């Protein structure tokens, strides 16, 4: 048996002795000079006389040169790593700043219940779930049928309004379950006790989630496999389109962020289910320190953050219980608590040492304009992976449904119809690749992370003014199932989605103009409505092209100009110059990655909308920097947004977007044919 003397920590080095490390509370913010990292490393390795303080500094620093750690509001001793060294002093802590607790091999359910209770009583204005999962009438936004798993009766039940339930967010991976909810077993699985004999065949993550629900005294769990009828397209699509409600209305979302698939389980829920890697050391008799990583560090490298479906599940929830490889966190819309943190003992103090970014931030309920949220959510979502690329829009539908409802707009292939002129302007700072399963005119039709013009409006008034005065195209759509031609927006849309108020961004349709624009006298006598009867030869071509695809086409008339050829690549932002007479650069175009270096001209460019001088001057001062947009506005010259199209087939009826860019207004005359604008009918796939 080891003697008390043997357990006494080695003495601190001369430097660490001056840091008053016995002072675990009431420390003032300040910097501490440790000398150099070379000295720290040497003293941390020096045989039996290793300095325990230097060992602690090595938890967060493996650098060279000057070694300075900072004690501050970030929560402990900090070096430029995103990690801190804290005191293990939960029982004596006077503040959560710089204080920590020992992480046990498995979590105490009482701690989870404590977190939930603290949030329910202290964050009522920000974190209370929405009580609208069930629609009470045809006009309600809730779901017609909402099923949950009852872990007391062990069956699937249809819930009633006001139900208190948890939701599960996890990754499937390659797991193939022996059964799932289908039409033929719905009645059977809805019978009391039906899941008792079947639960062991379910993936481990689901079984653990059932156990967790019981351990914390709850009863109902929503999990897609058992709550949506997997072979019923109508039920699946209804559920997918209401994913925002599923997660907004849950009292807690269980986030299974660990592992590669649905058999990873919930590490830490049961004894022996995880290895806790908590670096600790006793630096003085009775004084221990440990390393603590910020919340987002525990998510780095996890497959969960790369999967598309999990994006909306995480950002739409009100409260989340996140299981990583060796830690469990409770993160709500107000605070973040964890096993090694003691912020839950000081619930009025906000833990701001999270290190989160747009990919894992909640979508807020107010304050941030919905159009900006839409653009930012897209930015965080688009690079994520899907097993089936045909789900690219489905996996984002919850976010779209939430924001489109707030904005009183419809959607079309992932774009917002009430402001489609804005939604059509998107670009990437890297050359995109085509995704053939979706339209070329939608972000879903490309493999890239896009920025959108919607980020650059200061206010709804600014956006609405631009829509009214700087756009002109009357957009129509063709339905892939019926081939029917319909306006993308109009009075009928306003009746369906609600009349916009001042703060809503979108068109204000009138009897004279479905898009409510200021009428341009130059367009007054031009045809804007497609007519299959007038253009009989087009109909069979359109029908043939639509039969090859399962998405909407855009159909419209617009001004088209030509550029003789493209210039060289601009390497830092993946674009090419548009050349006019005498090789004059008239603008730039971003083209998909597989476009050959030499593409024979002339190139057809659809004039989408205008950017006036005052708007450009305003945008040149923006703090939202992307190379593509910066080059567009830095000159201060007014320009046209243009879409580069390529015709499919020799009859030039159907075209595909190949790129987006701009042409300076004062360069139009330098284009071929004197920059003459040709009014053309275009069907865009």
Q: Where do the H-state alpha helices sit in 179-282? A: 186-189, 204-215, 224-227, 233-240, 243-248
For tokens 């017609």, name the residue: 144
Show the tokens assigned to 553.
């086409």
365 lies in a domain? no
DSSP state letter for 251: S
Q: Are residues 495 and 594 in the same domain?
A: yes
358 lies in a domain? no
351 lies in a domain? no
Show the tokens assigned to 563.
């550029």
Q: Are residues 323 and 275 in the same domain?
A: yes
Domains identified in the chain, total number:
3
* Separation CA 684–CA 552 (nearest Å): 9
614 class by beta-carbon count within 10 Å (0-12 exposed, 13-18 middle, 19+ buried)? exposed
494 lies in a domain? yes
Domain edge (last residue) among 345, 362, 396: 345
Q: Are residues 85 and 214 in the same domain?
A: no
* Separation CA 56–CA 165 (nearest Å): 43
360 lies in a domain? no
Judge whether 205 and 256 are in contact, CB under 8 Å.
yes
pLDDT of residue 574: 72
Any idea how long the chain is? 685
Residues 6+ apart with CB under 8 A from 357: 296, 380
Any bridge partners for residue 554, and if so which? 477, 684
436 lies in a domain? yes
pLDDT of residue 367: 66
Judge whether 242 and 398 are in contact, CB under 8 Å.
yes
Q: Domain residues for 151?
A: 109-345
Q: Are residues 527 and 423 in the same domain?
A: yes
pLDDT along the chain (685 residues), means of 10: 53 95 94 95 86 96 92 86 92 95 95 98 94 67 92 96 96 92 97 96 97 98 98 95 94 97 97 94 96 90 94 95 96 95 96 65 81 92 92 96 94 98 92 92 93 90 95 96 94 95 96 89 87 82 92 97 83 78 87 66 92 78 70 84 93 93 90 85 97
For tokens 């949506």, name the residue: 228
To 5 degrees, how large is the angle CA 648–CA 651–CA 655? 30
* Separation CA 582–CA 345 (nearest Å): 72
Any bridge partners for residue 143, and if so which? 134
545 lies in a domain? yes
* Separation CA 608–CA 422 (nearest Å): 10
Neighbours of 131 (CB within 10 A): 13
Q: Are residues 67 and 135 in the same domain?
A: no
Judge whether 90 and 49 are in contact, CB under 8 Å.
no
Residues 6+ apart with CB under 8 A from 579: 563, 564, 565, 566, 567, 585, 586
Residues 6+ apart with CB under 8 A from 349: 95, 96, 97, 343
Residues 6+ apart with CB under 8 A from 548: none
Q: Is 118 helix (H, G, I), strand (E, B) or coil?
A: helix
Q: Are residues 254 and 281 in the same domain?
A: yes
Q: Are residues 588 and 653 in the same domain?
A: yes
* Separation CA 417–CA 506 (nearest Å): 8
Nearest to 151 by CA among 200, 196, 181, 185: 196
* Separation CA 673–CA 486 (nearest Å): 34
Q: Are residues 240 and 382 in the same domain?
A: no
Nearest to 307 by CA among 256, 373, 355: 256
Q: Are residues 127 and 274 in the same domain?
A: yes
Q: Is 281 helix (H, G, I), strand (E, B) or coil?
A: strand
Residues 6+ apart with CB under 8 A from 293: 82, 83
Show the tokens assigned to 114.
């404590």
Q: Is 565 helix (H, G, I), strand (E, B) or coil?
A: strand
pLDDT of residue 137: 55
pLDDT of residue 7: 63
pLDDT of residue 358: 46
pLDDT of residue 197: 92
The terminus-to-terminus CA distance of the chain in angstroms comes to: 78
Residues 6+ apart with CB under 8 A from 377: 311, 315, 363, 396, 399, 403
Q: Are residues 542 and 622 in the same domain?
A: yes
Q: Are residues 84 and 121 in the same domain?
A: no
191 lies in a domain? yes
* Separation CA 129–CA 121 (nearest Å): 13
Q: Are residues 588 and 525 in the same domain?
A: yes
pLDDT of residue 4: 37
Q: Is 587 helix (H, G, I), strand (E, B) or coil?
A: strand
């Amino acid at each position: 048996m080891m003697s008390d003397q043997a357990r006494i920590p080695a003495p601190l080095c001369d430097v660490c002795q001056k840091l008053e490390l016995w002072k675990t509370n009431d420390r003032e913010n300040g910097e501490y000079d440790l000398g150099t990292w070379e000295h720290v490393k040497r003293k941390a390795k020096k045989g039996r006389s290793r300095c325990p303080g230097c060992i602690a500094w090595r938890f967060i620093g493996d650098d060279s040169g000057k070694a300075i750690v900072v004690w501050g509001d970030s929560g402990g001793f900090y070096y430029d790593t995103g990690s801190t060294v804290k005191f293990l002093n939960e029982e004596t802590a006077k503040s959560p700043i710089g204080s920590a607790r020992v992480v046990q091999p498995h979590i105490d359910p009482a701690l989870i219940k404590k977190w939930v209770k603290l949030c329910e009583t202290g964050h009522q204005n920000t974190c209370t779930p929405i009580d609208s999962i069930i629609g009470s009438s045809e006009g309600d936004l809730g779901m017609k049928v909402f099923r949950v798993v009852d872990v007391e009766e062990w069956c699937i039940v249809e819930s009633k309004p006001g139900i208190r339930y948890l939701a599960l967010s996890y990754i499937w991976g390659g797991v193939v379950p022996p059964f799932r909810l289908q039409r033929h077993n719905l009645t059977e699985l809805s019978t009391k006790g039906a899941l008792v004999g079947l639960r062991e065949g379910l993936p481990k993550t689901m079984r653990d989630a059932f156990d967790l629900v019981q351990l914390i005294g709850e009863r109902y769990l929503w999990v897609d496999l058992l709550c949506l009828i997997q072979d019923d397209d109508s039920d699946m699509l209804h559920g997918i389109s209401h994913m925002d409600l599923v997660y907004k209305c849950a009292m807690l979302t269980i986030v299974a962020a660990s592992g590669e698939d649905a058999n990873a389980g919930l590490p830490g829920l049961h004894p022996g289910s995880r290895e806790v890697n908590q670096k600790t050391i006793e630096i003085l008799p009775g004084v221990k320190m440990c390393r603590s990583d910020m919340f987002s560090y525990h998510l780095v490298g996890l497959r969960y953050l790369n999967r598309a479906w999990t994006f909306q599940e995480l950002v739409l929830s009100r409260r989340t219980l996140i299981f990583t490889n060796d830690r469990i966190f409770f993160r709500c819309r107000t605070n973040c608590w964890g096993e090694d943190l003691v912020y839950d003992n000081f619930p009025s103090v906000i833990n701001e040492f999270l290190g989160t970014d747009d990919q894992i931030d909640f979508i807020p309920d107010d304050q941030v304009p919905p159009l900006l949220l839409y653009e930012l959510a897209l930015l965080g979502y688009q690079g994520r992976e899907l097993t089936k690329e045909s789900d690219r829009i489905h996996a984002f539908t919850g976010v779209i449904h939430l924001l489109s409802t707030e904005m009183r707009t419809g959607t079309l292939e992932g774009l917002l119809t009430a402001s489609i002129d804005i939604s059509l302007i998107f670009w990437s700072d890297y050359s995109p690749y085509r995704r053939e399963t979706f339209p070329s005119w939608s972000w879903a039709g490309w493999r890239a992370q896009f920025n959108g013009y919607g980020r650059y409006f200061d206010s709804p008034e600014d956006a609405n003014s631009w829509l009214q005065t700087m756009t002109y195209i009357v957009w129509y759509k063709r339905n892939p199932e019926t081939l029917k031609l319909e306006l993308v927006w109009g009075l009928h849309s306003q009746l369906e989605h609600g009349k916009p108020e001042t703060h809503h961004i979108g068109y204000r349709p009138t009897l004279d103009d479905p898009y409510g624009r200021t009428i341009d006298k130059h367009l007054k006598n031009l045809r804007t409505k497609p007519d299959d009867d007038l253009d009989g030869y087009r109909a069979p071509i359109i029908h043939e092209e639509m039969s090859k695809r399962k998405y909407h086409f855009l159909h419209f008339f617009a001004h088209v100009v030509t550029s003789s050829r493209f210039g060289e690549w601009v390497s830092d932002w993946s674009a090419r110059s548009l050349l006019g007479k005498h090789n004059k650069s008239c603008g730039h175009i971003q083209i998909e990655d597989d476009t050959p270096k030499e593409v024979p001209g002339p190139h057809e460019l659809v004039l989408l909308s205008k950017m006036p001088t005052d708007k450009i001057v305003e945008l040149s001062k923006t703090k939202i920097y992307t190379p593509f947009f910066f080059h567009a506005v830095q000159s201060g010259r007014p320009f046209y947004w243009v879409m580069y199209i390529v015709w499919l087939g020799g009859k030039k009826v159907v075209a595909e977007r190949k790129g987006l860019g701009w042409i300076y207004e004062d360069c139009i005359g330098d284009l071929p044919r004197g920059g003459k604008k040709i009014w053309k009918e275009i069907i865009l796939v």
